[in-house]
Amino acid sequence: MGDKKFQPYIPADRVVPEFTVVSVVLGAILAILFGGANAYLGLRVGMTVSASIPAAVISMGIIRMVLKRDSILENNMVQTIGSAGESVAAGAIFTLPALFMWADEGLCNTPSLIEIGLIALCGGVLGVLFMVPLRSALIVKEHGVLAYPEGQACAEVLIAGEEGGTKASTVFAGLGIAAVYKFIADGLKLFPSEVAYEIPAYKGSGIGMDILPALAGVGYICGAKVSSYLFAGGITAWFVLMPLIALFGGETVLFPASIPVNELLGNGVDAMWSTYVRYIGAGAVLAGGIISLISSLPLIVRTFRDAIGDYGKKGANNGILRTEQDLSMGALLIGILAVAVLLWILPNIPLNLFSALIVIVFGFFFATVSSRMVGLIGSSNNPVSGMAIATLLISSLLLKATGKGDITGMISAITIGGIICVVAAIAGDTSQDLKTGFLVGATPKKQQIGELIGCVVSAVAIGGIMYLLSAAWSYGSNELPAPQAMLMKMVVEGVMGGNLPWTLVLTGVFIAVVVYVLGIPVLPFAIGLYLPIYLSTPIMAGGILRWFMERRKYSSDKVKNDCVQSGVLYTSGLIAGEGLVGILLAVLAVWKIGGTSVGELIDLSAHGISIGRIGGLIVFAVLLYTIYLFAKKAESASGKK
């Protein structure tokens, strides 16, 4: 529906500082920081979280409190550029670690920094350019229909500028507490960051949790519903499927294992999960992605038709109002054509003309899907990995049909999937940022240029971050499981080699179909089915805490909203703090003194100093209590006004 009467916070006829040196530099720094933090988080748990709100709060804290500047649009530009880092990181780390894994297996060379950077850059630029003609149809015409939750929340934070100092301090508090916690847990190793228990009486089952700040933060931000879907997937895997395999497997050797199930169980229930359940989870995620796409097809067709129609009538910069100006159609076409040609001719990108055309076609398709999906469920829940899996399946089949079923075709398939994953992530992020801009009165054209700058900076940085993490802990290890990339690798290998355990994959597919018929969102459930239960348990703890905070009695709806949002800001800081210290620990792991890494030198557990699993659970409970305290603090502040 159109909303021509809507008046943004800054009127269209008013010009204030927006695209400035300060906003570009600060935005670029935040893009690198949040890109690194989310890269680590995504490689640990297979999920990333939108960086727009913490970027906006930090921006206000620095620009207003330190630099004494006062422009809401300048702050908006900082978060626009800064949040691009998270999206580029998500697209890259969900797919490209597969190339490192193949290199470790001796199948190919390790990808170069230039190759990773170019793949991320091409995906980021395409994601922004594909989103531009969709702005009018999705952001403006459907204002009030598509919520774009993070976009609206970010606008509220920016508009509440006079409270910026308090909100910024909340984020920084979360960042600092998580940084100290993470350093003690995984640096000094005073207590184990993973607490796990097997249940002998129920053979094949197990329970536990990674007692880390970021996971609790993810659960709080996603809320109880999404967290419960993840947890339900974990329970299905660890308390239904694995015990059944243990019961019926016995002394039988079940493919893809090469030893009997009972012997496999002797290595722990984790071995059961990695051998069987991850294939079932892969099938469920694949089915979830396809179901989501099929469900969205009518909306995609309508959105595309409306967007092209509106864009063609109005032109890009012929609008009278500043708030209606987009990048010109000519610039978009030239940019898209230039990227397509670069994908084809650059020797650093292992694609040919056919592969480049696949990228362009799938790119626009999934940019449209992503833009609409984040309008409904938010960037943090955007199933970009499901879109990447669908892309990998189709592209792998096409490449194999054209005679490229070897490692060259596998590398091409992962490259295509990596670019599409970045396209989908950036398109979703751009949509949220343009929604924020629509509400506060930003200039769309300047925001779109800001997004492109954020993509360039992040693409340059992500290669170095991935190399650093690979050197510290190889991808696929316990410290860096890279679950999404492992899944992508498995799908490509299975299609190309014809050795995918299809019975397990199809089991996952039909579980997903049943879940869909029951009306449960498939992708969150499928991700929970795929990931170890140690990750979904602490996420569930954060979700329960959010549920409790939302159902407490408050004096007014405003106080309730202030409390819940204060928790969101604090947990955003928890996620950022753990991610940043994760990068620091990676540096310490590769930095050696006298032949021994600094990481080993500071390990207290190696000297018998540890408070054990029970102590770790108590510390984690205290961490959860700090989330409650910071939310309550907002209630006290509201009561004094």
Beta pairing partners, 104: none
Whole-angstrom CA distances from 134 to 84, 138, 455, 583 are 18, 6, 19, 36
Instruction: Please give the structure tokens belonging to residue 440.
Output: 């506060």
- What would the pLDDT profile of 577-636 be if each residue is shown by its tens digit? 887 788 788 778 778 888 788 988 999 998 899 999 999 999 999 999 999 999 888 776
Angle at 223 between CA 233 and CA 295, to 5 degrees: 60
Instruction: Give which of 534, 378, 442 is closest to 74, Cα–Cα.
Output: 442
Instruction: Give which of 561, 566, 577, 571 is closest to 539, Cα–Cα.
Output: 571
Q: Which string of DSSP letters, residue by residue, matches 497-554?
A: HS---HHHHHHHHHHHHHHHHTT--HHHHHHHHHS-HHHHHHHHHHHHHHHHHHHS--
Spatial distance between the Cα atoms of 271 and 181, rounded to a whole number of angstroms: 29
How many other CB atoms are found less than 10 A from the CB of residue 3?
Answer: 13
Beta pairing partners, 377: none
The reported pLDDT for the residue numbered 640 is: 55
Provide CB contacts within 8 A for 452, sequence distance 6+.
Answer: 124, 125, 128
- Say which DSSP state 438 is in: H
Cβ contacts of 175-178, under 8 Å, gap ≥ 24: 175/573, 175/574, 175/576, 175/577, 175/580, 176/573, 176/577, 177/213, 177/573, 177/574, 177/577, 177/623, 177/626, 178/213, 178/214, 178/217, 178/573, 178/574, 178/575, 178/576, 178/577, 178/578, 178/581
Rounded to 5 degrees, φ, ψ at 209 are -155, 150
Beta pairing partners, 206: 198
Spatial distance between the Cα atoms of 317 and 443, rounded to a whole number of angstroms: 11
**Is the pTM higher than 0.75?**
yes
- What would the pLDDT profile of 56-113 be if each residue is shown by its tens digit? 878 878 887 778 787 889 999 999 999 898 889 888 998 999 999 999 898 888 888 8
Dihedral, 272, 274, 275, 281 alpha carbons, nearest 10: 100
Residues of the chain with confidence (pLDDT) below 70: 1-5, 47, 49-50, 147, 160-165, 289, 292-293, 296-297, 299-300, 302-304, 306-320, 376-383, 386, 636-641
Spatial distance between the Cα atoms of 476 and 488, rounded to a whole number of angstroms: 12
The reported pLDDT for the residue numbered 2 is: 43
DSSP SS3 for 404: coil
- Say which DSSP state 474 is in: -
Asked if 453 contacts 80 with a C-beta cutoff of 8 angstroms, the reply is: no
